[in-house]
Amino acid sequence: MKRRNRALVHLLWLLLASNALANEFETGVYEAKKGHYKKAIPLINTAVNEGNPMAQVFLGSMYKNGKGVEKDLGEAFRLFELAAKQGDADGQFNFASLYDNGLGVIQDRKEAVKWYQLAANHGLIDAQLRLGLMYQYGQGVTQSYNESEKWYHMAAEQGDADAQLMLGLANWSGQGVKQNSIKAYMWTNIAASNGSHEAIEYKTKMNKTLTPKEIEQALGLSRTCKASTYKDC
């Protein structure tokens, strides 16, 4: 019993320590957002040194943008890598973006795709959208419209307006999919309703091409699609 009690006390201590570190990080973020960097950085660094991936990504972004610290892409790379290798989706995305754009490291889009895909598999919309673009244009991968559409669909099903517009344009042009003006209007209309100003412009152009009957059909499909939370599209 005594051994079990000691184990429980130790576990409770670990939980309290973990909560204290989390609170320190939250305080550090709060201070950083207020511009109080001298107070923020030691608190964030403590969490970074304890292996907190959110802290690693946050501090990495500070170094990447030179906000509160001197800009240092090498340090940003190191911090994003720490988070990425712990399986953190934001860390993986940020790590990929450095390879993608050649920031703090020699540009390597194949390596970028690897890390984007890990983040995308966690459901990160930005990673799914970027993968869609990379497959569409053959950046770091063999060009594949089917793969491109797959990643756009994954982001679109989460309600991302940019991905929905990309699906609309793919259906409009027939790029990688069978040309379908009604489905193009459906996705473009959905993107517009979700706040894409660019989609509103494309929808206006499509209005001049489609018949009233086709537009009504597309609007009906839009309603069905949205009602199914983008699954029945």
- At which residue do the structure tokens 């209007």 appear? 185
Give the pLDDT score at 153: 94
Residue type at position 87? G
For 49, the token pair is 């040194």
Rounded to whole angstroms, how far apart are CA atoms 126 and 120? 8
Plot region of 109 (φ>0 → left; ψ -120 to 50 → alpha; else → beta): alpha
Give the pLDDT score at 213: 96
Length of the chain: 233
Among 125, 66, 70, 75, smallest CA distance to 98 is for 75
pLDDT in tens, 133-146: 999 999 999 999 99
Record the pTM: 0.85
Q: What is the DSSP letter of 127?
A: H
Q: What is the DSSP letter of 128?
A: H
Give the pLDDT score at 28: 86
108 — phi, psi (to 5°)?
Answer: -150, 95
Residue type at position 85? K
State the number of CA atoms in the 13 A half-sphere of 32 facing the CB. Answer: 22
- Answer yes or no: are the C-beta atoms of 93 and 119 closer than 8 Å: yes
- Answer yes or no: are the C-beta atoms of 148 and 162 closer than 8 Å: no
State the number of CA atoms in the 13 A half-sphere of 148 facing the CB. Answer: 21
Give the pLDDT score at 19: 56
- Answer yes or no: are the C-beta atoms of 93 and 112 closer than 8 Å: no
pLDDT lower than 70: segments of the chain: 1-22
